[in-house]
C-alpha cells in the first residue's frame, strides 16, 4: 500500500478531509502512544474534520478487570482532552456509547475472509502472549477497527506503524463492499508520522513499547512523575560501545535518539553532534529531561480534567451524540445496500 503524502487542508479548501483514530483503554498510555499517535492527532485536528475515540470494545479482546477498565476508560478520555483536543472542534467519544460500531462490525465480519484475518501479525503475537484466552473477538478485532474507520468515512487514519496491516484490511474490506454494492465507504489511508511511529521498549529495544507490558520499566507512562521518567530512561538498555549515533545493532541508542528527536525537533545528525565525546549518562539525562518537559503540560491538564468528572461525562455524552448521528447514517446506508429492511 502506498503511503500518500498529504498536506492537511491543501487539496480542497472548501471541504475538509476527515480523520478518525482510536486508542484502547487497556492500561495507562505510554510515551509510544503519545509520540506515535496522540501528538499527531492534536496537530492534524487543526486542519481536518476529526473524530477520536476511546476504543473500549477493543480492550476486552484481552481479559480486563472491570473496575480497572471503568477507571481507565475515563482516564483515557481525560487524556484526549489533556493533549489539547478541543471538543468544540473534534468529536471525542467512547466507542461503546455508539452502538453502530458493534453493528457495522457484525455486518463487515460477513464480508471478511478467515484466511485474510489469519495473517494478522498482532493476532499471532497476542495469541501467544494471551495463550489462555485466544477468543474470537481477538481474531476479528481488525474488523471492528474497520467499522470504526468506515462509519466516519475517514480519509486518513493517524496511527503508529504497528497498525499498518490493520489499515490494509480496512481498505480491503471497504473495497470489497464497494465492489459488490457500489460506492458506500471512503477508502482510508494510513497517516504514519515520520518520527515516533515505532517507539521501542526501554528494556528490550527490539520490541515495541506497550502499555500492556508486564514490566513497567519497559515503558514511560504519560502520567509517570518526572523522577520516575528520569529513572526509567536512565535504566534503558543501550550497548557497551558508548557512542551516541544512529546505527545498526544500536537498537537501544537508536530508540532513545528517536524519542529525543520527537521531543526536541533535532535530527539524528544534530543529536550525534550534541553528544560527541559524551557518554550515555549525559545522553540519557538529556533524553529524560526532554521527555519530562514534553509530558509536563499534558500531565498538568490531565490532573485538571480528572478533578471535574461531571465535565468529562458531559463531554463524553456530547461526543457520543454527534458521533452517533454520523455513524448511524453510514450504518443505515450499508445495511440498506445489503438488503436489510430498515425500521
Q: Where does this chain touch ligand ATP (CB under 6 A) — which range of 26-34, 136-144, 178-186, 284-292?
A: 26-34
* Per-residue binder mask for ligand LTN (CB under 6 A), 21-60, x = binder: xx-x------------------------------x--x--
Query: For the chain, first and last CA: distance in Å?
Result: 39
> What residues are annotated to the active site?
126, 208, 211
Q: Are strands 156-158 and 49-54 parallel, antiparallel or unpaired?
A: unpaired
Q: Where does this chain touch ligand LTN (CB under 6 A) — which range of 112-120, 155-163, 199-207, 250-258?
A: 155-163
Answer yes or no: are the C-beta atoms of 263 and 271 closer than 8 Å: no
* Per-residue binder mask for ligand LTN (CB under 6 A), 156-185, x = binder: -x-x---x--x-------------------
Q: Where does this chain touch ligand ATP (CB under 6 A) — which range of 195-203, 238-246, 268-276, 278-286?
A: 195-203
The C-alpha atoms of residue 202 and residue 300 are separated, in whole angstroms, by: 25
Q: What are the DSSP calls for 99-115, one per residue?
A: THHHHHHHHHHTTS-HH
Site membership for ligand ATP, residue 32 (CB under 6 A): yes
Answer yes or no: are the C-beta atoms of 53 and 148 closer than 8 Å: yes
**Where do the DSSP E strands lie in 138-181?**
156-158
The C-alpha atoms of residue 28 and residue 68 are separated, in whole angstroms, by: 11
H or E stretch at 313: helix 309-338
Answer yes or no: are the C-beta atoms of 334 and 177 closer than 8 Å: yes
Site membership for ligand ATP, residue 208 (CB under 6 A): yes
Least distance to ligand LTN, CB of residue 57, Å: 8
Least distance to ligand LTN, CB of residue 324, Å: 17
Answer yes or no: are the C-beta atoms of 168 and 11 closer than 8 Å: no
Among 18, 101, 171, 211, contact with ligand ATP (rule: CB under 6 A): 211
CA-nearest of 331, 326, 50, 333 to 183 is 333
Among 17, 18, 26, 177, contact with ligand ATP (rule: CB under 6 A): 26
* Per-residue binder mask for ligand ATP (CB under 6 A), 124-163, x = binder: -----------------------------------xx-xx
Q: Which does 205 bind (CB under 5 to 8 A by kind): ligand ATP, ligand LTN, none?
A: none
Amino acid at each position: 500500500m502506498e503511503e500518500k503524502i498529504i498536506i492537511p487542508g491543501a487539496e480542497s479548501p472548501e471541504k475538509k478531509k476527515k480523520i478518525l483514530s482510536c486508542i484502547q483503554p487497556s492500561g495507562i498510555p505510554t510515551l509510544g502512544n503519545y509520540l506515535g499517535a496522540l501528538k499527531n492527532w492534536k496537530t492534524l485536528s487543526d486542519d481536518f474534520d476529526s473524530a477520536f475515540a476511546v476504543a473500549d470494545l477493543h480492550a476486552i479482546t484481552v481479559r480486563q478487570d472491570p473496575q480497572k477498565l471503568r477507571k481507565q476508560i475515563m482516564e483515557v478520555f481525560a487524556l484526549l482532552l489533556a493533549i489539547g483536543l478541543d471538543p468544540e472542534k473534534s468529536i471525542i467519544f467512547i466507542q461503546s456509547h455508539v452502538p453502530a460500531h458493534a453493528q457495522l462490525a457484525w455486518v463487515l465480519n460477513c464480508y471478511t475472509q478467515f484466511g485474510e484475518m489469519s495473517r494478522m501479525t498482532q493476532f499471532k503475537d497476542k495469541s501467544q502472549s494471551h495463550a489462555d484466552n485466544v477468543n474470537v473477538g481477538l481474531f476479528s478485532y481488525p474488523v471492528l477497527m474497520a467499522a470504526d474507520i468506515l462509519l466516519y468515512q475517514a480519509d486518513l487514519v493517524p496511527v503508529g506503524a504497528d497498525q499498518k496491516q490493520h489499515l490494509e484490511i480496512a481498505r480491503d474490506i471497504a473495497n470489497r463492499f464497494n465492489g459488490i454494492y457500489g460506492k458506500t465507504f471512503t477508502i482510508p489511508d494510513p497517516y504514519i508520522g515520520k518520527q515516533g511511529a515505532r517507539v521501542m521498549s526501554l528494556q528490550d529495544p527490539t520490541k515495541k513499547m506497550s502499555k500492556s507490558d508486564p514490566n513497567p520499566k519497559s515503558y514511560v507512562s504519560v502520567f509517570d512523575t518526572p523522577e520516575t521518567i528520569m529513572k526509567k530512561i536512565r535504566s534503558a538498555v543501550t550497548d557497551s560501545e558508548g557512542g551516541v549515533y544512529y546505527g545498526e545493532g544500536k537498537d537501544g541508542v537508536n530508540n532513545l535518539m528517536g524519542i529525543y528527536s520527537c521531543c526536541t525537533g533535532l535530527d539524528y545528525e544534530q543529536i550525534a553532534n550534541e553528544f560527541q565525546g559524551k557518554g550515555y549518562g549525559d545522553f540519557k539525562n538529556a533524553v529524560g529531561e526532554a521527555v519530562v518537559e514534553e509530558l509536563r503540560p499534558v500531565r498538568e491538564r490531565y490532573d485538571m480534567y480528572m478533578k471535574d468528572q461531571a465535565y468529562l461525562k458531559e463531554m463524553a455524552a456530547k461526543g457520543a451524540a454527534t458521533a452517533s448521528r454520523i455513524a448511524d447514517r453510514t450504518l443505515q446506508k450499508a445495511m440498506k445496500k445489503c438488503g436489510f429492511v430498515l425500521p
